[in-house]
């Protein structure tokens, strides 16, 4: 349309077009030179919150980071707990050597017997500082781990214990593995009733996660260490000293982390291989290393160490049971105190025969343990 034919007051087409891109009141106008001047308008939008998608992305990133960090944190915590358990065993090593120097013998697991006069069996195995050899090894070493006050306070009468006694209901931290939650740290429940007078709870008191190698005091006197029928957790004190260990102290296990199914960690029942240190002669304080009480080589295969995780999946079915076995909550292996005071960790896959030789003090086979 020519300029001559536009109606009066009709806007120029270019002005009409540019007005579509301007905010109200900011219509483009021709410059003095006849060119169109366009005004830029910026619009700022305020965001008041994250969108749902952004929140989901953030949550997913956090979940991934936690998934990456959690295993690392768990490994660090387990490593710290393993180190503490090793230190516990080293403290017991010093106590064993001091006991050996003072008493002329190593601690042993104690002696109890059902239906037998108390006087014949060292106070029925119940702890009393006035009765030499009473209690378990855990009681016998108390004066050598700065627990003499506890040692002197346990003046129990084996004929009536635990009736009327409360001083044994305490926790002793050194006896507890830091990889397990042991609840109150002592047993108070039904326990076993095969004490000299059929009294229940005779094995109540502080728990221990470390078990004595009972073969040191009561070996089978054979060069075939898997013949375990000669090893007795409830044996007389044979007064074995470190100097009596024929195979050498550095090659013989004295004490180790014991196998224990997780269901026993914090219960009150003083039985089922978790008896306390107050009364000697129980499997809660002493182990022989295998669960097959045989007089032939068939028992050799059951010299296996059992982790707490394996006990969960096996439902405590032997040979993957805690009965007479050593074991630990760690995934890597089990810590043992050797006769020379050193501490070693043996992996779960250790040859059963190699473990059997290391537990037996006089079979004539010195093992190069890992």
Contacts of 315 (CB under 8 A, 6+ apart): none
DSSP 256: E
| Concatenated DSSP letters of 6-30 | SPTTPPPHHHHHHGGGS-TT---EE
How much is the mean pLDDT over the chain? 82
Q: What is the pLDDT of residue 370?
A: 72
Average pLDDT value for residue range 249-254:
94
Q: Where would I find the beta strands (DSSP E) of the chain?
A: 29-30, 36-37, 186-187, 205-206, 210-213, 253-257, 286-287, 306-307, 327-328, 333-338, 343-347
In angstroms, rounded to a whole number, what is the distance separating the alpha carbons of residues 6 and 362?
124
CB 262 within 8 A of CB 312: yes
Q: What is the pLDDT of residue 138?
A: 97
Q: Quick check: 250 pLDDT over 60?
A: yes
Q: Quick check: 288 pLDDT over 80?
A: yes
More confident of the two residues 114 and 86: 86
Q: SS3 of 54, please?
A: helix
Residues, the chain, total? 370
Q: How confident is the model at residue 127 (pLDDT cuts 50, 70, 90)?
A: very high
Q: What is the pLDDT of residue 5?
A: 46
CB 205 within 8 A of CB 168: yes
Residue-wise pLDDT for 25-45, tens only, equals: 444 445 455 454 545 555 555
Q: What is the pLDDT of residue 39?
A: 52
Question: What is the share, in percent, of the chain residues with pLDDT greater than 70?
Answer: 75
More confident of the two residues 218 and 340: 340
Percentages (nearest 5) of helix, strand, coil residues in the chain:
35, 10, 55
Question: What is the share, in percent, of the chain residues with pLDDT greater than 90?
Answer: 46
Q: What is the pLDDT of residue 129?
A: 95
End-to-end CA distance of the chain: 103
CA dihedral angle for residue 220, residue 224, residue 227, residue 228, rounded to 10 degrees: 50
More confident of the two residues 215 and 15: 215
Q: How confident is the model at residue 11 (pLDDT cuts 50, 70, 90)?
A: low
Residue 84 half-sphere exposure toward CB, CA atoms < 13 A: 16
How is residue 223 written in tokens? 């060069």
Alpha helices by DSSP H, listed for 104-197, are 137-140, 148-153
Cis peptide before 289 (omega within 30 of 0): no
Q: Quick check: 86 pLDDT over 80?
A: yes
Average pLDDT value for residue range 100-125:
80
Q: Regarding beta strands 186-187 and 36-37, do their DSSP bridges make them parallel or antiparallel, or are they unpaired?
A: unpaired
Q: What is the pLDDT of residue 201?
A: 58
CA proximity to 321, closest of 292, 286, 285, 350: 292
Residue-wise pLDDT for 291-348, tens only, equals: 876 656 666 778 899 999 999 999 888 889 999 999 999 999 999 999 999 999 999 9
Average pLDDT value for residue range 7-15:
50
DSSP 126: B
In angstroms, rounded to a whole number, what is the distance separating the alpha carbons of residues 126 and 118?
10
**Phi, psi (rounded to 5 degrees) for 242:** -60, -35
């Amino acid at each position: 349309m020519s300029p001559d034919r536009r109606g009066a007051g009709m806007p120029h087409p270019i002005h009409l077009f540019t007005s579509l891109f301007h905010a109200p009141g900011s219509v483009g106008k021709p410059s003095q030179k006849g060119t169109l001047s366009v005004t830029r308008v910026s619009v700022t939008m305020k965001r008041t919150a994250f969108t749902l998608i952004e929140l989901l992305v953030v949550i997913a990133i956090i979940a991934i980071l936690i998934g990456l960090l959690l295993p690392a944190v768990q490994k660090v915590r387990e490593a710290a707990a393993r180190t503490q358990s090793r230190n516990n065993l080293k403290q017991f090593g010093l106590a064993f050597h001091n006991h050996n120097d003072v008493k002329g013998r190593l601690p042993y697991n104690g002696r109890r017997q059902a239906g037998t006069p108390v006087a014949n069996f060292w106070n029925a195995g119940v702890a009393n500082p006035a009765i030499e050899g009473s209690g378990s090894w855990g009681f016998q070493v108390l004066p050598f781990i700065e627990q003499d006050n506890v040692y002197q306070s346990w003046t129990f009468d084996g004929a009536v214990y635990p009736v009327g006694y409360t001083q044994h209901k305490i926790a002793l931290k050194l006896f507890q593995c830091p990889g397990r939650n042991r609840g109150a740290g002592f047993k108070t429940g039904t326990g076993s009733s095969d004490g000299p007078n059929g009294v229940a709870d005779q094995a109540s008191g502080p728990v221990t996660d470390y078990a004595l190698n009972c073969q040191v005091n009561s070996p089978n006197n054979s060069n075939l260490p898997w013949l375990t029928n000669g090893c007795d957790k409830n044996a007389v004190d044979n007064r074995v000293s470190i100097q009596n260990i024929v195979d050498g102290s550095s090659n013989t296990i004295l004490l180790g982390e014991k196998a224990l199914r997780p269901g026993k960690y914090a219960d009150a029942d003083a039985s089922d291989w978790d008896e306390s240190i107050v009364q000697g002669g129980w499997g809660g304080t002493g182990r022989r290393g295998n669960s097959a009480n045989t007089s032939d080589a068939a028992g050799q295969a059951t010299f296996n160490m059992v982790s707490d995780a394996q006990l969960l999946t096996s439902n405590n079915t032997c040979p993957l049971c805690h009965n007479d076995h050593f074991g630990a909550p760690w995934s890597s292996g089990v810590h043992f105190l050797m006769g020379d005071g050193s501490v070693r960790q043996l992996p779960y896959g250790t040859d059963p025969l190699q473990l059997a030789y290391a537990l037996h003090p006089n079979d004539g086979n010195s093992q190069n343990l890992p």
